[in-house]
A and B are shown apart, each in its own frame.
Chain A
């Protein structure tokens, strides 16, 4: 491929916009389970499994530098506009740079690299939990006055840095499972239909 083909064209940018919408809608659909506080610890894992096929199709369609990076920045940007803190945004940019670098190592078309890249990509959602960790003192204060010591300390034991590491690990594993699922779907449906 010549260097000109590696640049993002309008077609690719439109595709990025559309896949962001799909990703965002699915993310909110899955996010409903986050209403139950314990479940939001496994939310990243579930999100990875569900959105895996979508992102794998996207990565199969656009094999160019920065496509994944832009897609990954857009949803946090939208969430930022809708009222999340800058922590989420900064966290996502860091995650996306790593994901982009992994994809680059596989020259954008190796499935193995794309799979791991998606695993890392999927960890961006942990940023929304990190926000709670960041405002923990305030949250705990309000919780203690309202719920009593017992519940507050229970929650405090649950949302800690070591547990967050587990959540990250869950996100990456979920992403990899989703990617494999995506590969299956790609082979079963999209290649036949000529979409990829």
Chain B
């Protein structure tokens, strides 16, 4: 996983979370189209500066396509399957901003900075430990799933009967995961995670210039878009 902490264009997780929550308002109220594009450009700029060039371009392209949607009157006469597909796109258009901002959050935050910002926000440890474990466990879970698929192939189990498929996949996965959970708990205990003292973090949460700029720009765009 790349380390973003020293990038001057990467806002800290608290700011990004704040932006996502603010964008949640746009689900309920339609923003002005020019301000929508301003928001898209800000998001793309931050993507681009964090070395996520593909996301930066696709952000603009996808929103551009979504903008074209309601103008096409030909769609009305197409058949029901295409209509259904387009309905999903309409829903996607409504939820686009929070989703894009959430993607930015996930893609540009590493586990260390998320944990220390949870500390800064005074999350209880009952929530912050499971979240930390989740980030640690996601990649290894994907690996395990591949292993189960491979094992099924080796034994010649290719049936797509959903009920037995469910059993063949979930049972080994659950057993593997239970074992991994034991391992992680042991590792965590040795690192004294249960010790109720103030902890120092490897990656501290710092407030940089970009945090102010990003927050102010997002507030301006959302407020402006709603007023106009």
Contacts and interface: CB of A to CB of B under 8 A. Distances in A.
Nearest to B130: A17
Contacts of B147: none
Nearest to A148: B76
Given A9-B194, A18-B137, A20-B130, A139 B90 contact: yes
Q: Which of A84, A190, A193 has the most CB of B within 10 A?
A: A84
A29 to B, nearest CB: 10
Given A21-B138, A61-B178, A193-B175, A84 B98 contact: yes
Interface in B89-116: 90-91, 93-95, 97-103, 105-106
Contacts of A195: 174-175, 178
Nearest to B81: A36
23 contacts: A11-B182, A11-B189, A13-B130, A13-B133, A15-B178, A17-B131, A18-B184, A35-B88, A53-B166, A61-B178, A82-B106, A83-B97, A83-B101, A84-B95, A85-B27, A142-B90, A147-B76, A147-B83, A185-B167, A185-B171, A190-B174, A190-B175, A195-B175
Interface string B106-136: 1000000000000000000111011111101
B170 interface: yes
Contacts of A74: 127, 130-131, 134
Given A81-B17, A82-B103, A142-B93, A17 B83 contact: no
Contact of A85 (B98, B103, B127, B175): B98
A20 B30 CA distance: 34
B90 A22 contact: no
A86 B21 CA distance: 8
Nearest to B187: A14
**Size band of the A side of the interface?**
35 or more
A17 B185 CA distance: 11
B137 A21 contact: yes
Interface of B: 17, 20-21, 23-24, 27-28, 30, 69-70, 75-76, 83-84, 86-88, 90-91, 93-95, 97-103, 105-106, 125-127, 129-134, 136-138, 141, 145, 166-167, 170-171, 173-175, 177-178, 180-182, 184-185, 188-189, 193-194
B194 A83 contact: no
Contacts of A189: 171, 175
A64 to B, nearest CB: 11
A92 to B, nearest CB: 14
Interface stretch (A96-104, A105-113, A130-138, A165-173): A130-138
